[in-house]
């Protein structure tokens, strides 16, 4: 009788050993539930629209819903901290932006830096653009500068220290004119402030020209490169001798440091599969985002650190470090 009990026990042990890899595999499977992607800007803006496109594309590769969570305000810090306070399990993604990864840690003491996150991919870049109303008397940048030498101009920006604000301050120095900046919670609201006559100009992005076609006029691209989306609009560097405005407006996806390597690899593969395609590129560029895909933590960190190196002397020169 005893030998039968022993034999049965041995059979059960062998079966458990055989099943163990499958059980562990099921336990390690990712993702097993919906994923959240935190966007540190309000709904309706460029980050929200392009973030939704990315989330929809990732759902196809991952087989789970990817839901957008908007946490605007506070210079992106509350949104970033919501990811910092979440478990590093791949179920809370952070959508990369210039303020969250590059400019804020240079301007103020933040409870995080880009080193607290693992970048998965970067998908696109954008450029700040100086806009006036379509019926404005300022037909080009020279008109705007000439008026600015006679009075202090009111210029709308989305937040202090974000690329639009930094670009506006660089323009002010390059053109030797003074701005009073009026801050709004997000770029669409600064454009609405412009159209409502509350400011004389606003710094938006390439995206805003298409969204508000016929209501606003782009005067200059506040970057060192022209855009195919605004082929007739010059850069400030072309118009003002000696000007050197170079903006870093990037978007992408990251996770909290400490996320397991297998989950990071799964996310990188999903982005490669669904975002690094001609179909997604064409869709992304309908929103006036210049598609520029960078994949994997090492390559993405290099691009982010290039942004930090570019903005550090600008912020020091402008004297806005807090």
pLDDT at residue 8, as a whole number: 52
Q: What is the pLDDT of residues 200-209, one digit of tens each?
A: 999 999 888 8
Please give the pLDDT value at position 287: 75
**For position 321, what pLDDT does the model report?**
72
pLDDT range class, residue 289, cuts 50, 70, 90: confident
Q: Is the pLDDT of residue 75 over 60?
A: yes
pLDDT (0 to 100) of residue 260: 97
* Rounded CA separation 105/111 (Å): 9
How far apart CA 294 and CA 121 sit, in angstroms, is 5
92-96 and 128-133: which strand pairing?
A: unpaired
Q: Is the preceding omega at residue 31 within 30 degrees of 0, hence cis?
A: yes
How many C-beta neighbours within 10 Å does residue 185 have?
15
Torsion angle (degrees, nearest 10) of CA 221, 224, 229, 233: 40
């Amino acid at each position: 009788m005893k030998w039968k009990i022993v034999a049965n026990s041995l059979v059960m042990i062998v079966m458990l050993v055989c099943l163990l890899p499958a059980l562990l595999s099921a336990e390690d499977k990712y993702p097993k539930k919906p994923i959240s992607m935190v966007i540190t800007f309000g709904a309706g803006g460029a980050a929200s629209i392009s973030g939704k496109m990315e989330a929809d594309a990732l759902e196809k590769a991952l087989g789970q819903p990817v839901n957008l969570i908007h946490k605007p305000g506070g210079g992106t810090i509350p949104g970033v901290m919501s990811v910092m306070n979440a478990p590093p399990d791949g179920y809370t993604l952070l959508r990369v932006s210039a303020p969250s990864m590059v400019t804020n840690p240079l301007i103020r003491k933040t409870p995080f830096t880009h080193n607290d996150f693992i970048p998965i991919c970067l998908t696109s870049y954008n450029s700040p653009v100086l806009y006036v109303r379509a019926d404005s008397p300022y037909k080009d940048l020279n008109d705007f500068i000439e008026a600015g030498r006679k009075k202090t101009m009111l210029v709308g920006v989305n937040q202090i220290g974000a690329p639009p604000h930094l670009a506006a301050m660089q323009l002010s120095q390059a053109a030797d004119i003074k701005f009073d900046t009026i801050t709004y919670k997000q770029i669409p609201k600064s454009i609405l402030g412009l159209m409502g006559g509350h400011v004389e100009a606003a710094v938006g992005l390439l995206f805003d020209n298409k969204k508000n076609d016929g209501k606003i006029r782009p005067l200059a691209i506040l970057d060192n490169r022209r855009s195919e989306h605004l082929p007739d609009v010059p850069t400030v560097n072309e118009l003002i001798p000696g000007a050197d405005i170079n903006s870093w407006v990037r978007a992408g996806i990251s996770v909290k440091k400490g996320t397991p390597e297998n989950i990071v690899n799964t996310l990188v593969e999903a982005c490669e599969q669904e975002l690094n395609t001609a179909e997604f590129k064409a869709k992304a560029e309908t929103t006036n985002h210049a598609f520029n895909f960078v994949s994997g933590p090492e390559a993405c960190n290099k691009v982010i650190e290039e942004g930090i190196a570019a903005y550090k002397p600008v912020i020091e020169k402008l004297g806005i470090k807090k």
